[in-house]
C-alpha cells in the first residue's frame, strides 16, 4: 500500500521530471499521474488598439543623456585617506574644483600609499568615505559634478 509520504514523493518526482504521464503499481494498488499542461506554445490574439501607432519615421529616439554626476572609485583594497602626507591637509574639500589626472586622495595598501587619481574635470559634490575607513575595490570614494 502507498503511504501519503510515498504519494508526495511520487508527485514531487513527477513535477521534476519532464514527462507527461507516469504510472506505478504496488500489488493491486495502481497510481497513474497525467500532466494536464500542454507543451505547445500558447498564442493569444492581438487586439487592435484605438490609439494610432506612429510610423518609425515619426518616432524620434532621444540620444542618451550622460549623467553630469560621476563617481571616482577605489582601484585597491585598503584604508582611505584624504590627507597629503607632507602638508597634513586634505587634498580636496567639498565643492572644490578638480582636474583630470590630479591626485585627490590615497588608499593605504600594505603600508604603501596608492594615489587616487581623478578621472574627470569637475566639482566635488560628495565625499563618500570617511578618513581612515577601509575601502574595497570599485567602491565609490567621491562624487563629482562634471
- Is residue 64 in some structural domain? no
DSSP states of the chain as a string?
---HHHHHHHHHHHHHS--SEEEEEETTEEEEEE----SSPP-PPPPPPSSPPPPTTT--PPPPPPPSEEEEE-SSSEEEE-B-TTT-SBS--TT-EE-TT-EEEEEEETTEEEEEE--S-EEEEEE-S-TT-EE-TT-EEEEEE-
Q: What CATH number is associated with residue 131? A: 2.40.50.100
**pLDDT at residue 146 tops 80:** yes
Query: What is the structure's pLDDT at 12?
Result: 73
Per the structure, the count of domains in the chain is 2
Query: What is the structure's pLDDT at 17?
Result: 66
Q: What is the pTM of this model?
A: 0.55
- Is residue 135 in some structural domain? yes
- Is residue 48 in some structural domain? no
- Is residue 43 in some structural domain? no
**Domain membership of residue 101 as a residue range:** 69-145
pLDDT digits (tens, 9 = 90+) for 62-86: 656 777 999 999 999 999 999 999 9
Q: Is the domain of 93 the same as that of 138?
A: yes
Q: Is the domain of 88 the same as that of 136?
A: yes
pLDDT band at 43 (very low <50, low <70, confident <90, very high): very low
- Is residue 46 in some structural domain? no
- Is residue 99 in some structural domain? yes
The residue among 118 and 7 whose pLDDT is bigger is 118
Please state the rounded mean pLDDT for residues 105-130: 95
Please state the rounded mean pLDDT for residues 56-67: 64
- Is residue 9 in some structural domain? yes
Amino acid at each position: 500500500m502507498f503511504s501519503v509520504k510515498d504519494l508526495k514523493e511520487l508527485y514531487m518526482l513527477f513535477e521534476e521530471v519532464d514527462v507527461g504521464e507516469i504510472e506505478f503499481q504496488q500489488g493491486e494498488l495502481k497510481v497513474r499521474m497525467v500532466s494536464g499542461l500542454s507543451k505547445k506554445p500558447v498564442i493569444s490574439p492581438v487586439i487592435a488598439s484605438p490609439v494610432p501607432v506612429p510610423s518609425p519615421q515619426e518616432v524620434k529616439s532621444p540620444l542618451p543623456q550622460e549623467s553630469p554626476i560621476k563617481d571616482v572609485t577605489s582601484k585597491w583594497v585598503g584604508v582611505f585617506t584624504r590627507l597629503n602626507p607632507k602638508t597634513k591637509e586634505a587634498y580636496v574639500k567639498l565643492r572644490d574644483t578638480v582636474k583630470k589626472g590630479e591626485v585627490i586622495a590615497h588608499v593605504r595598501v600594505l603600508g604603501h600609499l596608492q594615489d587616487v587619481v581623478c578621472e574627470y574635470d569637475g566639482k566635488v559634490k560628495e565625499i563618500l568615505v570617511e578618513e581612515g575607513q577601509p575601502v574595497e575595490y570599485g567602491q565609490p570614494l567621491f562624487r563629482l559634478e562634471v
